[in-house]
Amino acid sequence: MAARPPTTAALPLAYTAALEDFLEALRVEAGLARNTLVAYRRDLVDFIAWADAAGADAPARVQPEHVVDWLADLRDRGLAEASVARHLAALRMLLRHLVAEGRLKRDPAALISAPVLRRSLPKTLSVDDVARLLDAPLRDGAAGEGGEPGWRGQRDHALLSVLYASGARVSESISLRTDGLEPSLRILRLFGKGKKERLVPIGEPARRSLTRWLENGRARLPDARRRPEVFLTKTGRPLDRQNAWRRVKAAALSAGLSPAISPHTLRHSFASHLLEGGADLRSVQEMLGHASIRTTEIYTHLDADHVRSLHRLYHPRG
């Protein structure tokens, strides 16, 4: 079920006009998805309702103390620091927008520090575990003609190969279309958050797997010629996000790996293995489609852990 925007009917008019203008600017200029805009609206409506009750019934009346007290109230309500940080980030964006538009003379949140968050390192697989995971669909899929894996094995192997070879998000992989594929299948055109397009190369193993699925397994499914999506179900319908997650988890179970493995685990492994192999951070950022290099920097911690492990293993005094 799609998220419903929280109501602004009971809020002061000075706030609702500013809020709607801000959200429209995000939609038009930043191209943010609807669910992201709904999340921004919800966090900001929370602040506006709180500020109004505290006597700040217009943006110009908001003081730094209001922001500090609101953040304290969020913590009192049991919100995690990550949620508190998200609320503050949304408010800062709104206030900066109002300053830029000349509706506010100063930003009352400018000097308020964001909560310090502990960044948890993403779970990744070793190269050997990735190989086991990718091999599982071919081993388990019902054999087709000439001893080839059946359609399901071919599809799941191609899906997992694409996820690992390109670092694609699961939503990006299931959105791949046959009419948007580069003829040699050496580069994938992915559409990330905000419909931003990026081109990511894939290696020969993934190219072979994707070619086999397109020319063999997929071609045998009903309505395959009329469907533009690359990954289809048995009935010829597009593979959805939940099905893709289930196929990854089924392969993990078959390979004897952790059931916590998800499509995002392959994305994390893609980035980690590139850095371990010597890729520069900016290139990895481009391939992952991260808007900020800071998001990609978390993988440098993984790379440092890898280097330390090698030092302990091979150095005489490691």
Q: Catalytic site residues?
A: 169, 193, 264, 267, 290, 299
| CB neighbourhood size of 53 (10 A) | 9
CA 212 to chain centre: 28
Q: Residue 14 class from Cβ within 10 Å (0-12 exposed, 13-18 middle, 19+ buried)? A: middle
The first and second tokens of residue 3, run together, are: 């998220």
What is the rounded distance in angstroms from the CA atom of residue 154 to the CA atom of residue 218?
Answer: 8
The phi-psi region of residue 55 (left if phi > 0; otherwise alpha if psi is between -120 and 50; otherwise beta) is left
Burial class (CB in 10 A: 0-12, 13-18, 19+), 236: middle
Residue at token pair 């620091």: 81
**Cβ-Cβ contacts under 8 Å for 313 (sequence gap 6 or more):** none
What span, in angstroms and rounded, lies between the C-alpha atoms of 264 and 248? 10
Residue 163, Cβ density class (10 Å: 0-12 exposed, 13-18 middle, ≥19 buried): buried
Closest by Cα among 179, 226, 184 to 201: 184
**What is the rounded CA–CA span in Å between residue 101 and residue 105?**
10
